[in-house]
A and B are shown apart, each in its own frame.
Chain A
Amino acid sequence: SAVISQKPSRDICQRGTSLTIQCQVDSQVTMMFWYRQQPGQSLTLIATANQGSEATYESGFVIDKFPISRPNLTFSTLTVSNMSPEDSSIYLCSVGSLPENTEAFFGQGTRLTVV
């Protein structure tokens, strides 16, 4: 199993500013995933972060808006840039395990409100 520490747990931010979310894992993992989840909704994958290479972004998400760092096998950050109220959501990091590096463990989530 893996223990994931994600912070901040919540934040209220002004529009136009940026917020960086950190995800620390207690063991080395190959793949880390960043998700967004509206309350009561399903999860939407933003990007997959692999150590030593550029993150792979899903349709509708771009690096300029959601830059990701993955400096080593235990840490990643997601930045939400130039925020607008539409970015208000819960952001989750997840690490791959199980078969095919599937999302196995999730961080506690970051509840972001943009005002």
Chain B
Amino acid sequence: GQNIDQPTEMTATEGAIVQINCTYQTSGFNGLFWYQQHAGEAPTFLSYNVLDGLEEKGRFSSFLSRSKGYSYLLLKELQMKDSASYFCAVKDSNYQLIWGAGTKLIIKP
């Protein structure tokens, strides 16, 4: 079966760094995506990894290791507005997007 695991909830402090991990077991791999969703709003695309390594985009970075079936989203210099749910999603061999259950990130002052 297809499975994506990520922590249900994480808490971090404003100004700090937080790493949200994602492990996956899918039938094939055609890219890993991270999305952010604020409460009551639509998801927004954050990042895409298809090759191993780190992709940096401002305060956000995403890492992928295909051999380990592992990714993480790194958020630096946390701001209160980063409080949201973060979803890891993998595109499988059929090019279907498999979604994780999401990680609710709570930022405290």
User: Measuring CB to CB, which residues of chain A are less than 8 angstroms from any residue of chain B?
Assistant: 40-45, 92, 98-109
Contacts and interface: CB of A to CB of B under 8 A. Distances in A.
Contacts of B97: 45, 102-103
A108 B91 contact: no
A100 B91 CA distance: 9
A107 B102 CA distance: 19
A42 B97 CA distance: 12
Interface of B: 30-31, 33, 41-45, 48, 50, 87, 91, 95-97, 99-102, 104
B44 A98 contact: no
A17 to B, nearest CB: 25
Contacts of A100: 30-31, 91, 95
Contacts of A108: 41-42
